[in-house]
């Protein structure tokens, strides 16, 4: 299993009729440079036997799923509920039961209560302690009210962000979609940034940190809004930690990089792929041949062991 590659041969025609939130259709595509990198040094999954390493050394396994877009009906995937179920089956088949599951947003396609309810019904079949943050598709029209009513964390800040600890790892769930625009991407805002500074106060620099947020917290492709404008401020608080793992969604493909002690990962969707940065006139659902789709959807398993830290492995629905 390769944790760093994007299957570029799978790039198919973009579907302008299904671009996210319409507004993106209006964006001009400027420039040909690819700003994202997939540097070496990204931790590899343990592979066979890794589960034993994780559990025998006091560690644990958790999983990330993202962008399930329940309610989407486009040609790129007419049945995202079925592929979400397949993703959960993939997780259920892992040799070690995950201690928890993270959903990094766009649970629904249009924030409709029926979509959110349908997603909740499917997700509860995983019987996993699941922690959510919204994507911009989950906050359409009501600033996430319906989303938070179903998936909000107990004790979360009024804006929906929160943190928790598990097995020696500190998890931070950030909300960067309430001020989202296709032109500027995600934003955290001063209130959340202050909360983050406070949340990290008193934590030892050796505490492993996992940060989840929907829109990438680094500039993958700002022309498409694949960035978070004020994330730099967040990293001034995070930088002193020896291990920071950032888990994002939104772009429906894996892009990873390592910067000092921070490892960044975006995730595959469970619903449909999107074009690689700059490889289409605009982002949005990308139709690929039916026999290719499962190889572009997937889940991420992360093993944590105190001695060796965190290691991520991406599993496609075809693998």
Query: Is residue 140 within 8 Å of residue 111, measured between CB atoms?
Result: yes
Nearer to Zn ion, 24 or 200 (CB): 24
Nearer to Zn ion, 61 or 111 (CB): 111
Is 106 a residue that touches Zn ion (CB under 5 A)? yes
Compute, in degrees rounded to 10, the torsion defined by CA atoms 155, 161, 164, 168: -170
Tell me the C-alpha to C-alpha distance, in Å, between residue 25 and each of 16, 182, 221.
Answer: 7, 9, 16
Structure tokens given for 74: 């486009």
Nearer to Zn ion, 177 or 262 (CB): 177
Is 277 a residue that touches Zn ion (CB under 5 A)? no
Angle at 299 between CA 226 and CA 61, to 5 degrees: 115
What is the SS3 assignment for 312? strand
Is 135 a residue that touches Zn ion (CB under 5 A)? yes
Tokens 């959903």: give the residue: 103
Residues 224-263 vs Zn ion: string with x where CB under 5 A? --------------------------x-------------
Size of the site for Zn ion (CB under 5 A): 4
**Residue 156 C-beta: closest distance to Zn ion, Å:** 20
Query: Which residue stretch of 49-57, 80-88, 128-136, 230-238 sits at the interface with Zn ion (rule: CB under 5 A)?
Result: 128-136
Nearer to Zn ion, 50 or 285 (CB): 285
Is 265 a residue that touches Zn ion (CB under 5 A)? no
Is 283 a residue that touches Zn ion (CB under 5 A)? no
Query: Which residue stretch of 48-56, 99-107, 109-117, 138-146 sits at the interface with Zn ion (rule: CB under 5 A)?
Result: 99-107
Query: Is residue 243 within 8 Å of residue 310, measured between CB atoms?
Result: yes
Nearer to Zn ion, 98 or 134 (CB): 134
Structure tokens given for 232: 């730099």
Nearer to Zn ion, 208 or 284 (CB): 284
Angle at 284 between CA 282 and CA 286, to 5 degrees: 110
What is the rounded CA–CA span in Å between residue 1 and residue 44? 9
Query: Which residue stretch of 96-104, 106-114, 227-235, 285-293 sits at the interface with Zn ion (rule: CB under 5 A)?
Result: 106-114
Contacts of 202 by beta carbon, 8 Å cutoff, 6+ apart: none
Binding site for Zn ion (CB under 5 A): 106, 135-136, 250
């Amino acid at each position: 299993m390769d944790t760093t590659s994007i299957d570029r041969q799978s790039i198919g025609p973009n579907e302008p009729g299904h671009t996210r939130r319409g507004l993106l259709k209006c964006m001009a595509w400027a420039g040909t440079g690819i700003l994202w990198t997939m540097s070496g040094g990204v931790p590899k999954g343990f592979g066979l036997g890794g589960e034993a390493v994780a559990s025998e050394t006091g560690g644990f396994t958790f999983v990330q799923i993202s962008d399930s877009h329940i309610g989407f009906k486009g040609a790129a995937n007419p049945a995202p509920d079925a592929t979400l179920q397949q993703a959960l089956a993939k997780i259920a088949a892992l040799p070690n039961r995950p201690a928890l599951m993270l959903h990094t947003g766009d649970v629904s396609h249009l924030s409709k209560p029926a979509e959110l309810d349908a997603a909740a019904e499917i997700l509860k079949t995983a019987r996993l302690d699941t922690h959510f943050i919204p994507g911009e598709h989950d906050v359409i029209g009501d600033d996430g009210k319906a989303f938070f009513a179903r998936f909000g964390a107990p004790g979360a800040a009024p804006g929906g962000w929160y943190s928790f600890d598990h097995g020696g790892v500190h998890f931070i769930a950030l909300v960067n979609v309430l001020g989202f625009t296709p032109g500027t991407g995600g934003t955290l805002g001063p209130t959340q940034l202050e909360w983050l500074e406070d949340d990290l106060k008193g934590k030892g620099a050796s505490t492993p940190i996992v940060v989840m947020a929907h829109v990438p917290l680094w500039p993958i492709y700002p022309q498409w809004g694949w960035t978070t404008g004020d994330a730099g401020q967040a990293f001034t608080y995070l930088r002193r930690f020896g291990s920071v793992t950032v888990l994002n969604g939104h772009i429906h493909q894996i892009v990873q990089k390592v910067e000092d002690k921070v490892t960044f990962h975006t995730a595959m969707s469970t619903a449909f792929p999107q074009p690689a940065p700059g490889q289409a006139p605009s982002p949005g659902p990308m139709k690929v041949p039916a026999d290719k789709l499962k190889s572009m959807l997937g889940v991420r398993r992360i093993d944590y062991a105190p001695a060796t830290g965190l290691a991520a492995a991406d599993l496609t629905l075809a693998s």
